C-alpha cells in the first residue's frame, strides 16, 4: 500500500498540468474516505470498524500525497495504520469484544435523532459559511514558507528550531503516556503481602523460611553480597522439601 501511495505521488508530481488526474484521484480518495468513515460509524462489529478506519486513514494519506505532502502521508500510514489501528485490534481481540453490537438499541429516547439533526445542522452551517464568506482566510507565511519542494528538510528544520520546545514536550508526553498505560493495564496484585517482595522464588508456604533466611543473613553479615545471595536463596528454597520429606 505504501508502494501504491508512492506511485500516486509520482503520478501527482509528474502530471502537474493534467488537472484531471488530480480531480480523479481526489474523487476516488474522497469516496474511500467517506465510505470508510460511514463504515466506522455503522459497522456492528468493532473489528469491522477498525478495518474501515484503516481504509479512511489510507484515503487521507492519499489526499496528503495529492497536496505534495509525502512525508506526512508516510507518517500517517506508519503511525496510524501501523500502530494505532493495530493497537485497537489488539485491544479488541484481547478483551474479546468482537461480537455483534446492537445498534438499534437506543437507551436515551430521542437522543439519536437529536444528534443526527444537530450534526446535520452544524455541517450544513459550516458548508454554507464556507461558501458564503470564503474558505481560506488568514495571513500567509507565518511560520516559514512552504516552497512546494519536498518538505522533509523544511519540516525538520522548523521542528528543530521554531518548534523545539513543543517537540521536547512531545517526548515528555509520550513517556508519560507509556508510564500511564503500564500503570493502567497492570493487573492488580491479588493480596498485598510485603514479605513476597523479598523471596522471589519462595512459594506461599515459604514465608517462615524467608524470615529464617533473613535472620540467617543478619547473623552472618559478611555474606550479604548478591552473588552469594542466589545460591543461598536456592538452598533455602530447597530446605522445605527436606523438611517436608
Partner 1 sequence: MTVNPDWYLALGVVLFSIGALGVLIRRNVLVMFMCVELMLNAANLTFVTFARVLHDIGGQVLVFFVLVVAAAEVVVGLGIVVAIFRRRANATADDLHLMKG
Residue ranges in 76-135 that form contacts with partner 1 under rule CB under 8 A: 76, 79-80, 83-84, 87-88, 91-92, 94-95, 97, 101, 103, 105, 107, 111-112, 115-116, 118-120, 122-123, 126-127, 130, 135
Residue ranges in 153-182 that form contacts with partner 1 under rule CB under 8 A: 154-155, 158-159, 162-163, 166, 170, 173-174, 176-178, 180-181
Q: Which residues contact 42 (CB under 8 A, 6 or more apart)?
A: 103
Q: Interacting stretch for partner 1, rule CB under 8 A, among 27-35, 191-199, 206-214, 229-237?
A: 27-35
The nearest distance, CB 204 to partner 1, in angstroms, is 24
In degrees and rounded to multiples of 5, residue 244 shows phi and psi of: -70, -35
CA pseudo-torsion sign 48, 49, 52, 57: negative
Contact 195, 211 (CB under 8 A): yes
The nearest distance, CB 6 to partner 1, in angstroms, is 18
Give whichever of 138 and 222 is closer to partner 1, judged by the CB atom. Answer: 138
Residue ranges in 64-83 that form contacts with partner 1 under rule CB under 8 A: 64, 66-69, 71-72, 75-76, 79-80, 83
Contact 119, 58 (CB under 8 A): no
Q: Interacting stretch for partner 1, rule CB under 8 A, among 46-54, 189-197, 200-208, 211-219?
A: 46-54
Give whichever of 20 and 205 is closer to partner 1, judged by the CB atom. Answer: 20
DSSP string, 27-76: HHHHHHHHHHHHHHHH-SSHHHHHHHHHHHHHHHHHHHHHTT-HHHHHHI
Give whichever of 36 and 202 is closer to partner 1, judged by the CB atom. Answer: 36
The nearest distance, CB 197 to partner 1, in angstroms, is 23
Which residue do the cell numbers 523460611 mark?
A: 209
Return the SS3 of 139: coil
Compute the C-alpha angle 8/13/19, nearest 5°: 90
Give whichever of 69 and 209 is closer to partner 1, judged by the CB atom. Answer: 69
Instruction: Kindly state whether residue 2 participates in binding partner 1, applying the rule CB under 8 A.
Output: no
CA distance 183 to 28: 43
CA distance 79 to 86: 10
Q: Interacting stretch for partner 1, rule CB under 8 A, among 22-30, 197-205, 209-217, 228-236?
A: 22-30
Amino acid at each position: 500500500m505504501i508502494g501504491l501511495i508512492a506511485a500516486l505521488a509520482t503520478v501527482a508530481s509528474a502530471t502537474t498540468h493534467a488537472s484531471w488526474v488530480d480531480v480523479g484521484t481526489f474523487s476516488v480518495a474522497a469516496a474511500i474516505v467517506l465510505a470508510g468513515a460511514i463504515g466506522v460509524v455503522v459497522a456492528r462489529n468493532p473489528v469491522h470498524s477498525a478495518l474501515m478506519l484503516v481504509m479512511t486513514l489510507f484515503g487521507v494519506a492519499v489526499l496528503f500525497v495529492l497536496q505534495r505532502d509525502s512525508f506526512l502521508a508516510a507518517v500517517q500510514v506508519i503511525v496510524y495504520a501501523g500502530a494505532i489501528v493495530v493497537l485497537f485490534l489488539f485491544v479488541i481481540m484481547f478483551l474479546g469484544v468482537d461480537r455483534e453490537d446492537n445498534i438499534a438499541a437506543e437507551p436515551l429516547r430521542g437522543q439519536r435523532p437529536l444528534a443526527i439533526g444537530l450534526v446535520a445542522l452544524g455541517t450544513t452551517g459550516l458548508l454554507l459559511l464556507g461558501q458564503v464568506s470564503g474558505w481560506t482566510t488568514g495571513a500567509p507565511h507565518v511560520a516559514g514558507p512552504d516552497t512546494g519542494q519536498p518538505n522533509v528538510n523544511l519540516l525538520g528544520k522548523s521542528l528543530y528550531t521554531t518548534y523545539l520546545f513543543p517537540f521536547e514536550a512531545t517526548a515528555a508526553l509520550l513517556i508519560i503516556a507509556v508510564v500511564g498505560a503500564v500503570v493502567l493495564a497492570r493487573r492488580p496484585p491479588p493480596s498485598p503481602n510485603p514479605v513476597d517482595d523479598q523471596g522471589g522464588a519462595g512459594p506461599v508456604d515459604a514465608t517462615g523460611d524467608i524470615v529464617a533466611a533473613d535472620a540467617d543473613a543478619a547473623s552472618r553479615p559478611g555474606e550479604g553480597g548478591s552473588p552469594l545471595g542466589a545460591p543461598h536463596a536456592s538452598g533455602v528454597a530447597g530446605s522445605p522439601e527436606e523438611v517436608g520429606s
